[in-house]
Amino acid sequence: MAKRDPTGFLRAEYQQLVDSELDWRLRVLEGPSTPRCVVDGKKVLMLCSNNYLSLSNHPKLKAAAIEAVKTHGAGSGSVRPIAGNMDLHVELERRLAKFKEAPASLVYQTGFAANAGLIPQLADAGDLIVSDELNHGSIIDGVRLSKADRAVFKHCDAEDLKAVLAKAEEHTPAYRRILVITDGVFSMDGDIAPLDKIARTSKDHGAMVYVDDAHGEGVLGEGGRGIVHHFGLGRDEVQVEMGTFSKAFGVVGGHVSGSTDLRNFAFNKSRTWLLSGSHPPAVVAACTAAIEVLETEPQHVRSLWENTEYFRKGLRQMGFDTGNSQTPIIPVMMGESKTAKRFSARLFELGMFALPIVFPMVAKDRARIRTIMNAALTKKDLDEALGAFGKIGKELGIV
């Protein structure tokens, strides 16, 4: 009998990805994430970072991180339920709840951990989860971990959600509870969920609402407080507001905000929270400092939106299709995957770093260059980027 190779599939499946041009080829950022940075040894203009407000290199965040190492050490030493619950963690959650204007907040190790750990606990066998068809992969994985029934509503379509919920009411036996989940800002297209309509429809049918606001924090709402604040909704309308520190806040970590009951339930039931080491002091202190910056330096959010409108207008005037973007995520539609890859490669040659988004992350004919605006970009930077897009667009016959 031939001896079985237990790991042969690793190389074979990876090679399939390479042959199909679906593999990720990682570039290396050499230094801080700033508008002008060095990637793979080349000086480039950063156009694809989630660091919306350029806080990852803000002096207040760096100073807070350094001081926390001096006072609290390099690590927490444990998971939070045992011996790793530091005063820094407690203070961060207090400041976050105040910023979010919520009764309570809970910090997870990552945004993915929040979705994977909490969604399956909120809905189980005998329940129903209703999800927007374009929700993020971390939401999808969280739903897959649940034993609840699943339904999907058309993207950003509150009327279709209404129909799905009406049908759910006919289910026998009746569902114990229904959880409606949506992204706040959709990361591939930059459009905003109609959360006001979703919340109203869900309330009419007695469903709980869970919004993943990873790309809305620091962007939407007064002072960057997020999509719930943007729509002026109450905690009785959106019960779970999930977010992340890894984007506009410039650090790393996930979190949820809502009622005190939600917080108590979440940290007692989420295995991702219970069984993962807590954030090291430097990370926690930097996250708290980021909240303080948003509260005291409103110019960052203003600059982000000024840059967003300027760049999107410039692209459209040249004839580029920016899809349904309503936020600093501005996709530049290319159509074919190979076109998007060629465009991205030429951008890099011209000193612009913006990656192609291709199948299977988007439909085969919906490939795009996904640009993301940054508050620290100057008008000179944006004009240089627009010039590069215009030059390559003409070369490839896109505009």
- 278 Cβ neighbours under 8 A, 6+ residues apart: 76, 78, 79, 80, 84, 85, 86, 89, 109
pLDDT digits (tens, 9 = 90+) for 222-231: 999 999 999 9
Name which of 104, 60, 12, 7 is nearest 250 in CA terms: 60
Residue bearing the bigger pLDDT, 264 or 2: 264
- Residue 19 banded pLDDT, cuts 50, 70, 90: confident
72, 100, 136, 247: the catalytic one is 247
What integer pLDDT is reported at residue 150 of this predicted model?
A: 98
pLDDT digits (tens, 9 = 90+) for 146-170: 999 999 999 999 999 999 999 999 9
Residue 50 has pLDDT above 80, yes or no: yes
CATH topology for the 24-53+299-395 domain: Aspartate Aminotransferase, domain 1 (3.90.1150)
Q: Give dist(CA 61, CA 294) in Å, integer.
A: 12
Residue 246 has pLDDT above 90, yes or no: yes
In the block, which residue shows the tokens 């979190």?
A: 255
Q: Give dist(CA 286, CA 61) in Å, integer.
A: 5
How do the domains of the chain map onto residue ranges? 24-53+299-395, 59-296
| Phi, psi at 280, each rounded to 5° | -65, 155
215, 229, 279, 300: the catalytic one is 215
Average pLDDT over residues 348-356: 96
Active-site residue flag, 72: no
Written out in words, the top-level CATH class of the domain with range 59-296 is alpha beta
pLDDT digits (tens, 9 = 90+) for 103-157: 999 999 999 999 999 999 999 999 999 999 999 999 999 999 999 999 999 999 9
- 284 Cβ neighbours under 8 A, 6+ residues apart: 68, 86, 88, 89, 92, 107
pLDDT digits (tens, 9 = 90+) for 24-38: 889 999 999 999 999
Pairing, β 42-46 against β 240-244: unpaired
105, 187, 270, 337: the catalytic one is 187
Active-site residue flag, 187: yes
H-state helical runs in the chain: 8-19, 59-72, 87-100, 111-122, 137-144, 158-168, 195-204, 227-230, 260-269, 271-274, 281-296, 299-318, 337-349, 379-395
Residue 1 has pLDDT above 70, yes or no: no
Across the chain, mean pLDDT equals 96
Structure tokens belonging to residue 365: 């004919």
* The domains spanning 24-53+299-395 and 59-296 adopt the same CATH topology: no
- Residue 2 banded pLDDT, cuts 50, 70, 90: confident
- Residue 171 banded pLDDT, cuts 50, 70, 90: very high
